[in-house]
Structure 1
Amino acid sequence: MGMQPELLAHLQTGTTTVARAWGIERCDGVRLGFTDHDNDLEFERFSFRAASGLTTSALEQSTGLSVDNAEAIGVLSDASVQEADIAAGRMDGADITAWLVNWVNPDERSVLFRGNIGEIRRSGGAFVAELRGLAEQLNVPRGRVYQRPCSAVLGDASCRFDLNAPGYVHTREVADVSERRVFHFPTLDDYEPGWFTRGQLQVQSGIAEGLSGLIKRDWFDQDGGRNIELWEPLGAQIGRGDQVKLVAGCDKRFSTCRHKFLNTLNFQGFPDIPGEDWITSYPTRESGNTGGSLR
């Protein structure tokens, strides 16, 4: 990344007043700022707190397409990074930017690193966060796989289905919850059993607001109530009365896309691919030999 001319001129004077600053923007929009200067700084809509206990290892940056990685080491505290937020996954994938800044004139600054937070380890009141550079996206597989099920995620740019369409989302209060994973509702009569299987549960209020989980099962119990079970427990406590949003699930089959979502034009699978038994098919006298498929 190029150095800002004003900052470069300042560094060439030999007597410098520079510090490092780190800005973190979580996926839920919360912005956190840290600096190794002894006074707070403000720029780029961040408030960078001094004496926050955050430091970083040497940034491994290179030219070309290789992936840049580093680590950020900090102290867990109620005022900045909380252990509960890490456990709940609120820091996962957060955007992070590191600057070299002239603390006398913060307008003189240059970006040293830009990327995301990867794996986070925590122990003894401290945490170590892996920083992944922008080139990390080069490790993501690209292209499509020829398969019968749909390869899109319900509601994404390929699927194009409107998840806010009537009948596909439902918001209500939680009546009871077990192990932060099984949610009980007195009634959900407007939706057939299994309607939300493979869908999402999104928390709208309470301590766990902003968290979400994938739905494993959706069924009626013997008392006529409705149960929603997640694959994994949520990272924060859920209480009675908290609002949750249930999003309908998709099993990626063509028939589901056609009858449940009326979205066949955007189906991203190949439902007519012959199966493995096709190579053993042969004409017989009993079958209709019309020149069509032997399947």
Structure 2
Amino acid sequence: MSLYPETLAAHLGREVTTVCHCWRLTRTDGWMAGYTDHDRPLISGATVFAPQTGLAASEARDTLGLAVDTVDVEGALSSDDIGEEDIAAGLYDGAVVETFLVNWRQPEDFVLLRKATVGKITRSDGRFVAELESAAHALDRPNGRYVSRTCDAELGDARCGFAPDNPDFTGAGTVAAWEAPSTLVVSGLDGFEAGWFAHGVLSWTTGANAGRSERVEEHRKDATGTRLVLRPRSGMAAAEGDTFSAVAGCDKKFATCKAKFANALNFRGFPHLPGNDAAYGYVVDGGRFDGGPVVP
């Protein structure tokens, strides 16, 4: 059975055809836009596809079996819908791209060729190249759990079971100044000890980044003020006066889970698992060989 509608299949059987490609882009936040390599706007399937956006597709191959299919969509940043800042901020990461073959003389005749997600995006010389990954790409990712001494849950999720909305584990602050590309001086967190928000999550509540979250690498505190070091990223920088909320961080260690969060019973790691050091170790004076746990 052909995936092409009967009318479109009949059209493709002619010596001269009037078909073009259309792309419908749907971001994870629900924003949607349509683009086409035709020279006029098209309305197909209740979507308006804009022309002359600078988009072009590379060769696409569909393979049998479980091989991963990929195709590149390349284009200049000529569409008002696609901004350099949005790409840098990761708004298009994981977006869904549907590729259609459309008869531009009869736009109601179309077929969905493939559905993919946006993988790696590279930018150079004023243009972008987005790699589209097929559904089979998920089969190429590691699945299941790794046996390790550290926890593999995220603080506050169902597996962790800890509720971080307690005032002792959340704070709100304001950016006082930028000290380095990823270091900001903040106010409002003076009541928390140094390192409390390290490995935590910072969510912007106002400013150009409102609604976005970032990972905190370090939380420093000294006589000159409180500083948060964010995970390096490219995108829109926050401005002085922007506000945020922060959730305490967890370094995934059993000792931290037990002492900081009193959540040892829900620890999702294997802290007492002997490692290679135990397997290749040997008895020496001063060693402890009482059968006790590796991590107290």
TM-score normalized with structure 1 length: 0.82
Residues in 2 aligned to 1:47 and 1:264: alpha-carbon distance in whole angstroms: 54
Aligned to 1:236: 236
Contact 2:193 2:221 in 1 (8 A): no
| Matched position secondary structure for 2:256 | helix
Contact 2:215 2:231 in 1 (8 A): yes
Cα pair distance change 1:294/1:123, threshold 3 Å: closer
1:210-266 C-alpha deviation (Å, 9 max, x unpaired): 44332111021213x321111314521211122223222111112322343344443
Aligned to 2:245: 245
- Counterparts of residues 58-97 of structure 1 (less than 5 Å): 58-77=59-78, 79-97=80-98
Q: Once the 2 structures are TM-superposed, how far is the Cα of residue 47 of structure 1 from its aligned partner?
A: 3.5
1:118 and 2:107 are equivalent in the alignment: no
Cα pair distance change 1:86/1:265, threshold 3 Å: same
Contact 1:2 1:110 in 2 (8 A): no
The code of the aligned residue for 1:32 comes to: A
- Counterparts of residues 172-183 of structure 1 (less than 5 Å): 172-183=173-184
Cα pair distance change 1:267/1:73, threshold 3 Å: same
Q: Greater shift after overlay, 1-10 or 31-40? A: 1-10
- Counterparts of residues 1-295 of structure 1 (less than 5 Å): 3-6=3-6, 8-11=8-11, 14=14, 16-42=17-43, 46-77=47-78, 79-104=80-105, 106-156=107-157, 158-164=159-165, 166-223=167-224, 225-275=225-275, 276-277=277-278, 293=292
Residues in 1 aligned to 2:50 and 2:164: alpha-carbon distance in whole angstroms: 39
Count of paired positions: 291
| Matched position secondary structure for 2:217 | strand
Contact 1:7 1:110 in 2 (8 A): no
Residues in 1 aligned to 2:36 and 2:8: alpha-carbon distance in whole angstroms: 20
Q: Greater shift after overlay, 183-192 or 133-142? A: 183-192
| Matched position secondary structure for 1:23 | strand
The code of the aligned residue for 1:116 comes to: T
Q: Greater shift after overlay, 204-213 or 177-186? A: 204-213
| Matched position secondary structure for 1:174 | strand
Q: Once the 2 structures are TM-superposed, how far is the Cα of residue 145 of structure 1 from its aligned partner?
A: 2.2
Contact 1:211 1:234 in 2 (8 A): no
Q: Greater shift after overlay, 247-256 or 184-193? A: 184-193
Q: Once the 2 structures are TM-superposed, how far is the Cα of residue 164 of structure 1 from its aligned partner?
A: 4.4
Residues in 2 aligned to 1:30 and 1:179: alpha-carbon distance in whole angstroms: 33
Q: Which runs of 5+ in 1 are unaligned?
A: none
1:98-142 C-alpha deviation (Å, 9 max, x unpaired): 112344554543221222222223233222222222211122112
1:183-208 C-alpha deviation (Å, 9 max, x unpaired): 21233134322111011223333233
The code of the aligned residue for 1:51 comes to: Q
